[in-house]
Chains A and B, each alone.
Chain A
Amino acid sequence: MRWFKSQKHSHSGSKTDPAKPAGIPLPEEEQIVALSTELASNETKLRDTFRGCSDINFRPISGNPSVLLLYTDGLIDSKTLDQAVLMPILYHAAPASPSAAPISCQIIQEQLVAIAQLQTVTTINDVMEGVLKANIALLVDGENQAVIADLKGFEKRAVEEPAAEVSVRGPRDGFTENLRINTGLIRRRLRSPKLKMESLTIGQLTQTDVVITYIEGVVSNTILEEVRNRISRIQIDGVLESGFIEEFIEDVTWSPFPQIQNTERPDIVCASLLEGKVAIIVDNTPFALIVPMTFWIGLQAVEDYYERSIYTTFVRFIRYSLFNIALLLPSLYVALSTFHQQLIPMNLLISIANSREGVPFPTFVETLLMEFMFEGLREAGIRMPKAVGSAVSIVGALVIGQAAVQAGIVSAPVVIIVATTGIASFAIPRYNFGTAYRLLRFPLLILSGVLGLYGIIGGLFLMIIHLLGLRSFGVPYMSPVVPQIPLSLKDVFIRAPRWSMNQRPALFSGGNKTRIPKGQQPSPNKGEANDE
């Protein structure tokens, strides 16, 4: 733990250091240049900036006065550009209509361009930024301002069911790579002005849009402030995925446990927002981040809240036992069969002894090998093209499962143990939380191979000490179990019926904590609906 702590200190120390270390290849801050009244001079500057950018189109329109249209090919909707921008301006500028007033930014805005989002800017930098963010820019000769119109029209993936978080019951839409579609999916579910979406841009080169979203009055202001602070401290050349941001804002890097939840599902984001959490949505990735995260969230699936509570409670108990199996089964097997044979039931011991006859490796090495192979199989399976994917499972099942046992290279119990562990680890609903257990299995296995049960207990102690010290944005990771918050326990080991979960989680919601007024337990002779 001391090791972790000191890591944390040195980490945060360098973060808050205001002096940027020398040698970081970030572009120097560009100077802000105001637009001049001369179109030619503006055009020269812009052409100079965009030299070598074949996808930036300059479309001069001669007229009275002449206009320069600037846009990025591929980012904008060129059909709409033709109809809603180009055609009106061309007609207006055409000599056939001399009666028309000379073109100005005001006329463009008020009469010519049929686009909802318009904006006037006065610097070259804003023009550049606008053009790069799928806007068109219109510069008019004789004016030191330009009109920027939003005309996004790039290719995007449709809203599909998220591949990593499947549910039997529940909405099937998932986030896409487009930030605005994603915020739209959230807004569609939370039609309240209290849902706030703060926009900011991160990444000197990628200029990625990031949205911090929360529900005002429900969110805890300290957590929100912490999120804002941590995100604003990020200095990076590019953000390609929300993972880039996650690594900058998580509490402890050297922990196997994820302290920030990620999801592809808008319903999970909305449910978290309703609990008072903060979500961070990053452009160009379907994965949104949700903070703070606790240990128990890693073991909850989205369907827990859609299915009936009694079934969910049952499933949770299964899940909790499976996750213990995923963590402990291989190391328990090694510890028991090499150190504490007394603890194995006699008949089981005899059959283990029987199957171990002639196996060349010690149990520990055997288990480690098989675990290693299993992880390899899984890794291979993920990256394989779908057409080849089935080959992996055939090779895995036949070669490792059967042939190795028949050849007497590994014993059957180890194969069973590794397979059971594998199945159990697939039952952990959140993928990145499951990885923590895949990771921890190996140190525990080594400890058990060296020290037996003492090693396992020692390893578990270290793990629990670490978990108890872990915090996610100021919220203890093990809450609401440690520290215990009895009201919030309704959603940890059991899942209480919806009408009885009256309070928002105490630790990470601020303001109004009441979710559901009391006394809504359904019963047949309640209310007037029954009187008809």
Chain B
Amino acid sequence: MNRIWRTLCVMLSLLLITGCWDSSEVNDLAIELAWGIDKAPNKKIMISAQVINPSKISGGQGDGAGGGGEGKPYFVVAGDGMNTLDAVKRIQAKLSRQVFRGHRRVIVIGEAMARQGIKDVLDTYTRDPNLKLRTDLFVVKGSTAKDLLKVSYPLENIPGLGVLGEYNQVGTSAEMGFLHFLLSATSEGTSPYLPSVSIGMNPPPQDGGLRDKSDIEGFRIAGPGIFNKELKLVGFLSVEEGRAMRWISGKLKEIEVSAKLPQEAGNVSMDLYKLGQKIEPIAQGGNLHIHVTLTGKGAIRENNTPLDLTNPDHITLLENTLNKQVEEHALRTITKVQQKYGTDVFGFSDVIRRKNLPLWKSIREDWEAVFREADISVNTKLTVRRIGITGPSLHLNPNEIKK
């Protein structure tokens, strides 16, 4: 009995001696939600972090306790170093609390950094067990990451979250960005792409005039940045092209398509969900044919034509017009990527490898050239499932309506 008691006491004190070594109170952490990587002189990198200032976040206890409420609930600290951790070390010297990276949601990469290549800076984000893979990577188009992190955003307390929100609204599942990037970076033929953001709600005026002050606030999702296999940024697509590209590669959740009806002098818009895509590689002689089929189901949301949509013939007409519109757009996007960048961001190579391994083995050595030369056709099958709650537009005179 006595021995058991003694053992128990020793074990208990052991517990208390070793304990607490990595405990840290929430108010001893500098929680950062967004993180920027920039190019710095002398082959260094510059890391900037958007750190939350909890007492400035409204609605909490900090308000009453004194002082809070005014000023931004975040601030940006930056430090440079030869790699990420080296830079973090410098950042830590400027912070009274420990840098806590476990809740990072957004990593933004300055355009200069992206063009230089990000192969050397990504390791730590998958090695550190405290970091999560549910992060989204963005390229800052036309600016540095640090500048983007400094910009405030009217809707969100923490602007970094605004980037995520915007991206989510564009029709892509958020928080998968990093994972998708890693997947396509490791794939044999596919090249990765990253979404991009640019500062300001609106692009600068084409005539070179001054930007509205309110335009400098916030940021907008720009078209995706295309990377090559060296993980160097080679160029950007437009937002619309980006959507088509994500649709083809199967990462788009929803999209709105609008089209003009040539015969009727009007236009329609359709909300598409349940998007699907099918890629069929066909080897014909020495030439590679890739046949892309895009499918989608959705509802008509806007109908600026005199057509009465309760008539199935009109629906078919709409479907055909929309199909044609999407087909053209997708094909244009593919052609642009093929000719301008020559990197397979659509994931065609993965499909070929999956469906026709001998074919892939024969072409993988010079896949880029094959991809540039490939003959790609697009076929679209959109289905209208719903037409909204009216057949014809209600404001139209009955004799204007085409039954």
Contact = CB atoms under 8 A, between A and B. Distances in A.
Interface of A: 2-3, 6, 10, 337-339, 341-342, 346, 349-359, 362-364, 405-406, 408, 411-412, 447, 449-452
Contacts of A356: 25-27, 54
B4 A3 contact: yes
16 contacts: A6-B4, A338-B25, A341-B24, A341-B26, A342-B130, A349-B31, A353-B54, A354-B55, A354-B61, A358-B27, A358-B55, A358-B62, A358-B65, A359-B27, A362-B25, A405-B61
The 3 closest A-B pairs by CB, nearest first: A354-B60, A450-B19, A342-B102
Contacts of A354: 54-55, 57, 59-62
Contacts of B27: 353, 356-359
Contacts of B100: 341
Nearest to B57: A354
A447 B22 CA distance: 14
B25 A357 contact: no
B8 to A, nearest CB: 7
Given A339-B22, A350-B31, A450-B19, A10 B61 contact: no
Interface in B136-186: 158
Contact of A349 (B19, B26, B65, B68): B26
Given A6-B4, A353-B26, A357-B62, 10 more contacts: A338-B26, A341-B26, A341-B31, A346-B105, A349-B103, A357-B61, A358-B27, A362-B25, A451-B15, A451-B19
B132 interface: yes
Contacts of B265: none
B61 A411 contact: yes
Contacts of A364: 23
Contacts of B61: 354-355, 357, 405, 408, 411-412
A412 to B, nearest CB: 5
A219 B68 CA distance: 69
Nearest to A450: B19
A337 B24 CA distance: 8
A349 B261 CA distance: 51
Interface residues of B, number: 35
A349 B29 CA distance: 11
B46 interface: no
A452 B20 CA distance: 8
Contacts of B37: none
Nearest to A345: B103
Interface in B321-355: none
Contacts of A358: 27, 55, 62, 65-66
Contacts of B8: 3
A408 B4 CA distance: 44
B33 A357 contact: no
A341 B132 CA distance: 12
Contacts, number: 97
A452 B23 contact: yes
Contacts of B132: 342
Contact of A2 (B4, B31, B57): B4
Contacts of A353: 26-27, 29, 31, 52, 54
B62 A341 contact: no
A351 B60 contact: yes
B16 interface: yes
A353 B19 CA distance: 23
A346 B29 CA distance: 13
A10 B2 CA distance: 13
A402 B227 CA distance: 56
A337 B100 CA distance: 13
B64 interface: yes
Interface string B62-79: 101110100000000000
B210 interface: no
B93 interface: no
B1 interface: yes
Contacts of A450: 15-16, 19-20
A346 B57 CA distance: 13
Nearest to B161: A346
Contacts of B105: 346
Interface of B: 1, 4, 8, 15-16, 19-20, 22-27, 29, 31, 33, 52, 54-55, 57, 59-62, 64-66, 68, 100, 102-103, 105, 130, 132, 158
A81 to B, nearest CB: 57
A341 B31 CA distance: 10
A355 B61 CA distance: 5
B395 to A, nearest CB: 44
A339 B65 CA distance: 26
A450 to B, nearest CB: 3
A353 B103 CA distance: 13
A411 B55 CA distance: 13
Given A350-B57, A354-B62, A341 B103 contact: yes
A452 B24 CA distance: 11
Contacts of A341: 24, 26, 29, 31, 100, 102-103
B13 to A, nearest CB: 11
A459 to B, nearest CB: 11
Contacts of B55: 354, 357-358
B26 A352 contact: yes
A144 B23 CA distance: 84
Contacts of B52: 350, 353
B134 to A, nearest CB: 11
A356 B55 CA distance: 9
Q: Which of A6, A338, A350, A412 has the most CB of B within 10 A?
A: A350
Contacts of A408: 61, 64-65
A88 to B, nearest CB: 66
B68 to A, nearest CB: 8
B64 A406 contact: yes
Contacts of A350: 31, 52, 54, 57, 158
Nearest to A342: B102
A412 B62 CA distance: 11
A4 B27 CA distance: 41
A337 B15 contact: no
A401 to B, nearest CB: 13
Contacts of B1: 6, 10
A460 to B, nearest CB: 16
A357 B22 CA distance: 20
Given A353-B31, A357-B65, A342 B54 contact: no
A157 to B, nearest CB: 45
Contact of A357 (B31, B54, B102, B103): B54
Nearest to B63: A354
A337 B52 CA distance: 16
B25 A346 contact: no
Nearest to A408: B65
Contacts of A2: 4
Contacts of A362: 25
A357 B31 CA distance: 13
A94 B16 CA distance: 87
B103 A339 contact: no
A316 B52 CA distance: 42
Contacts of B26: 337-338, 341, 349, 352-353, 356, 363
Nearest to B17: A450
Contacts of B68: 357
B156 to A, nearest CB: 11
Contacts of B130: 342
Nearest to B5: A3
Contacts of B54: 350, 353-354, 356-357
A354 B66 CA distance: 12
A358 B158 CA distance: 21
Contacts of A447: 15
Given A353-B31, A354-B61, A408-B61, A346 B15 contact: no
Q: Which of A6, A355, A406 has the most CB of B within 10 A?
A: A355
Contacts of B22: 339
A398 B60 CA distance: 19
Contacts of A355: 60-62
A408 to B, nearest CB: 5
